[in-house]
């Protein structure tokens, strides 16, 4: 589809939602739990971790990267999102069976309810389908009203799977270790996506868990079985090297440089005449990813005529940053506070200041900043109210009746609220959008300039943005966000900047464009898949990967403390291990590799094998290679940086 063919009137996110339902079935709440646990992380040191495959850490001997007193690879699961019962989780070297540690969980029931306070180990299910899984171990406890539980389950998107549970009332045989054995046979079906092991306390009391062991068909497992990826031959490696260019640097070029180094020349060939170029990243907190994107942005602006920079941030919030890069008063740090915390880094500060400086000297074609996210239920309402107060004050009371209850919530996402209440908010905001969009003609009638027209379009889009937030709050379905972000970026390109070329910044999973319900991330429900569907060859996506190093991330979804985390070294068979094996010139920090090869086409067909790839969001993760990618399906090219460091966080005050 060419740019001319795809340039059609925007029809709101409904068209994206219909494409999503065609590309992939809706993901259930259980899949949301999977997505959450894939991003949740814990704590510890990797000095002894040199394993090629994922360690299971069932004996709790290794500590997590985010919390030194919690086990590596285990997450808090639903416990992170349900604060009703206070609980503590820690490694205990004083109570053990055979290993060096046990896991201690203490819960204090408030009396309102007794949810399970648990730590969970969630594993991709390929190794277990159709096999007999047996989990053994020991637990002991103390307390009068609670009970300890161990769960072994096979999870499917819908009903089914398999489960077994061991229960120990804490009032019985207090202080004695009790052995347990759990056994399941997961169905041999692709719909079985996860093996879930949880240990926890229900009610009040303390329990210890130790000496866990897992076997498959009677064979003990201490690491996940190796991924079934054939080794790369010398011919295949040489073929890939011929499609790669060594990185000359990961920082911006000198301002006076007019020559184009080979790595940027390869980038330009991949970009071609595309209108949207998306730059992904396998973590949100890698220093070299920031600086490399800065280098690429300068190249795109100076040499390829790009003039819009779109970032994974709330759409109206980023407009404040856009004002700054166009010369508005204040400081870059103040303007950047409108971004998500992970973007408040020294590296982003340098990029923002460069854009402001560039705009000051290129007023005829400045670079704009735009956002496209929708995790904000208040700013769009405020913006819409300000517009209505000017053009139709009689509608203001009605607008407030439809929005005030949802707007009063502390966050756009309220999973603690009853579903009926969330659905009522969603219905009210759907009504708002219908009423506001129905006013387009009467609001446009007195418009006398493009600024007047855009003010109307922004007001209608404000109603759409708060409706999107309410929709996400109803479904609590992570892939829905990709559809909405794609719709918002589409709206900005068609409405605000219809002749611009855009550089988009987001996570690899968001920018990937495969859209394949069987092989792609999120069952094919990716922002990039929607954009590829809408813009065809005018969309290009780059992945940014690293083999080893450190990154910045929050300790978990509920603990927003950002710290430097150790990245798990790329395991054998992963995309990063393959790229790290490609020869490059001495001193080069990495490679740019052209991934555009047709499936089944000659030597290059080996690239179409699914391989583990790093996948970490804003929260730390101990392992990070549970997802697999068919790289040419998802990306046009990859920027690989062998060794990286943590992004450098700015000190944010007053929040």
pLDDT digit string, tens, across residues 411-470: 999 998 999 999 999 999 999 999 999 999 999 999 999 999 999 999 999 999 999 999
Same structural domain, 329 and 470 = no
What is the predicted pLDDT for the residue at 236?
A: 96
Same structural domain, 356 and 382: no
Are 635 and 595 in contact by the 8 Å Cβ rule? The answer is yes
Taking the C-alpha atoms of residue 655 and residue 646, their distance in angstroms, rounded to an integer, is 23
Q: 329 with 263, same domain?
A: yes
Q: Kindly state whether residues 143 and 235 are assigned to the same domain.
A: no
Do 401 and 346 lie in a common domain? no
The answer to whether 582 and 241 have CB atoms below 8 angstroms apart is yes
Res. 271: pLDDT tops 70: yes
Q: 344 with 311, same domain?
A: yes
pLDDT tens profile 41-79:
222 233 333 334 789 999 999 999 999 999 999 998 666
Task: Give the range among 167-176, 226-235, 274-283, 425-434 with minimum mean pLDDT.
Answer: 167-176
Among 246-260, 293-307, 413-427, the minimum mean pLDDT is found in 246-260
Q: What 3-state DSSP class applies to 130?
A: coil
φ/ψ of 598, rounded to 5, equals: -70, 140
Structural domain includes residue 240: yes
Q: What is the mean pLDDT of residues 484-507?
A: 97
Of 425, 451, 475, which residue sits at a domain end? 475
Looking at residue 79, what DSSP letter applies? G
pLDDT recorded at residue 45: 31
Same domain? 467 vs 326: no
Q: Write down the residue that tokens 């090219």 correspond to.
A: 637
d(CA 537, CA 553): 34
Q: Which residue among 194, 221, 248 closes a domain?
A: 221
Asked if the structure places residue 11 within a domain, the reply is no
Is the predicted pLDDT of residue 303 greater than 50, yes or no?
A: yes
Is residue 650 one of the residues assigned to a domain?
A: no
Residue range 581-631, pLDDT digits in tens: 999 999 999 999 999 999 988 899 999 999 999 999 999 999 999 889 999
Higher pLDDT, 115 or 260: 260
The percentage of the chain sitting over the pLDDT mark of 70, rounded to a whole number, equals: 88
Do 362 and 502 fall within a single domain?
Answer: yes
CATH code (residue 624): 3.40.1660.10
Whether 428 maps to a domain, the answer reads yes
* CA atoms of 507 and 270, how far apart (whole Å): 19
pLDDT at 35 over 50: no
Structure tokens at 287: 């220093």
Residue 24 lies in a domain: no
Q: How confident is the model at residue 81 (pLDDT cuts 50, 70, 90)?
A: low
Look at residue 16 and tell me if it is in a domain. Answer: no
| CATH at residue 65 | 2.60.120.260
* Shared domain check, 333 and 286: yes
Domain count, the chain: 3
Residue from 273, 270, 268, 141 nearest 203 by CA: 141
| 458 and 500, same domain (yes or no) | no
* Same domain flag for 467 and 605: no
In a domain? residue 128: yes
> At 556, is the pLDDT very low, low, confident or very high (cuts 50, 70, 90)?
confident
In terms of domains, do 506 and 629 share one?
A: yes
CA dihedral angle for residue 391, residue 395, residue 396, residue 397, rounded to 10 degrees: 160
The neighbouring-strand residues paired with 165 are 151
pLDDT for 342-384, tens place per residue? Answer: 999 999 999 999 999 999 999 999 999 999 999 999 999 999 9
pLDDT of amino acid 82: 62
Q: In degrees rounded to 5, what are phi and psi of residue 344?
A: -85, 75
Single out the residue in 475, 493, 528 at which a domain terminates. 475
- 426-429, long-range: CB within 8 Å, 24+ apart, which pairs? 426/467, 426/470, 426/471, 426/473, 426/474, 428/402, 428/403, 428/470, 429/402, 429/403, 429/463, 429/466, 429/467, 429/469, 429/470, 429/471
Higher-confidence residue of 545 and 141: namely 545
Tell me the two tokens of residue 381. 């309402």
- Mapped onto helix, strand or coil, the DSSP state of residue 28 is coil
Question: How far is 491 from 541, CA to CA, in rounded Å?
Answer: 19
Q: Which domain holds residue 210?
A: 54-221
With b meaning 16 or more CB within 10 Å and e meaning fewer, what string describes 270-304? bbeebbbbbbbbbbbbbbbbbbbbbbbbbbbbeeb
184 pLDDT higher than 90: yes
Q: Is 520 part of any domain?
A: yes
């Amino acid at each position: 589809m060419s740019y001319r063919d795809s340039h059609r009137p925007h029809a709101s996110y409904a068209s994206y939602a219909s494409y999503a339902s065609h590309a992939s079935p809706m993901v259930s709440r259980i899949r949301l739990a999977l997505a959450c646990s894939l991003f949740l992380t814990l704590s510890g040191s990797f000095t002894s971790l040199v394993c090629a495959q994922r360690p299971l850490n069932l004996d709790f001997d290794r500590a997590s990267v985010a919390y030194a007193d919690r086990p590596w690879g285990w997450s808090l699961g639903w416990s992170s999102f349900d604060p009703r019962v206070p609980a503590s989780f820690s490694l205990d070297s004083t109570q053990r069976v055979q290993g060096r540690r046990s896991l201690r969980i203490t819960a204090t029931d408030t009396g309102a309810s007794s949810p399970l306070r648990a730590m969970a180990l969630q594993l991709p299910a390929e190794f277990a389908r159709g096999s007999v899984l047996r989990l053994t171990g020991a637990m002991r406890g103390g307390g009068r009203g609670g009970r300890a539980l161990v769960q072994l389950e096979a999870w499917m998107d819908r009903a089914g799977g398999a489960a077994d549970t061991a229960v120990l009332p804490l009032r019985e045989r207090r202080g004695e270790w009790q052995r347990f054995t759990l056994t399941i046979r997961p169905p041999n079906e692709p719909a079985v996506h996860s093996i879930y092991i949880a240990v926890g306390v229900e009610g009040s009391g303390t329990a210890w868990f130790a000496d866990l062991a897992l076997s498959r068909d009677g064979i003990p497992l201490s690491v996940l079985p190796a991924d079934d990826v054939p080794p790369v031959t010398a011919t295949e490696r040489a073929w890939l090297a011929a499609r790669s260019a060594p990185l000359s640097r990961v920082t911006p070029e000198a301002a006076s440089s007019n020559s184009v180094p080979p790595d940027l020349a390869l980038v330009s060939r991949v970009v071609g005449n595309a209108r949207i170029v998306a730059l992904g990243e396998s973590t949100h907190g890698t220093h070299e990813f920031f600086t490399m994107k800065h280098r690429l942005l300068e190249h795109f602006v100076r040499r390829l005529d790009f003039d819009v920079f779109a970032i994974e941030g709330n759409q109206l919030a980023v407009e404040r940053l856009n004002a700054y890069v166009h010369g508005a008063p204040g400081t870059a740090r103040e303007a950047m506070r409108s971004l998500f915390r992970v973007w408040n880094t020294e590296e982003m500060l340098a990029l923002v200041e460069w854009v402001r400086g560039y705009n000051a000297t290129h007023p005829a074609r400045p670079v704009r900043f735009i956002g496209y996210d929708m995790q904000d239920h208040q700013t769009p309402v405020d913006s819409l109210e300000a517009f209505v107060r000017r053009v139709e004050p009689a509608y203001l009371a009605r607008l407030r009746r439809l929005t005030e209850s949802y707007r009063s919530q502390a966050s756009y996402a309220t999973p603690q609220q009853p579903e009926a209440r969330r659905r009522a908010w969603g219905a009210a905001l759907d009504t708002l959008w219908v009423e506001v969009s129905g006013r387009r003609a009467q609001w446009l009638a007195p418009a006398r300039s493009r600024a007047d027209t855009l003010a109307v379009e922004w007001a209608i889009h404000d109603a759409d943005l708060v409706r999107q937030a309410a929709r996400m709050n109803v479904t609590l379905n992570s892939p829905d966000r990709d559809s909405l972000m794609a719709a918002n970026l589409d709206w900005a390109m068609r409405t605000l900047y219809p002749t611009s070329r855009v550089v988009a910044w987001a996570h690899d999973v968001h920018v990937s464009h495969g859209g394949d319900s069987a092989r792609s991330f999120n069952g094919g429900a990716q922002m990039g898949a929607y954009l590829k569907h809408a813009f065809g060859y005018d969309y290009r996506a780059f992945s940014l990967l690293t083999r080893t190093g450190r990154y910045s991330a929050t300790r978990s979804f509920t603990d927003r403390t950002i710290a430097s985390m150790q990245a798990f070294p790329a395991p054998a068979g992963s995309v990063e291990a393959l790229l790290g094996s490609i020869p490059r010139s001495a001193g080069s920090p990495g490679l740019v590799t052209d991934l555009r090869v047709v499936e089944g086409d000659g030597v290059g067909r080996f690239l179409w094998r699914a391989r583990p790839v790093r996948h970490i969001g804003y929260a730390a993760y101990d392992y990070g290679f549970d997802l697999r990618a068919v790289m040419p399906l998802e990306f046009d090219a990859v920027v690989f940086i062998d060794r990286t460091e943590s992004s450098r966080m700015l000190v944010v005050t007053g929040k």
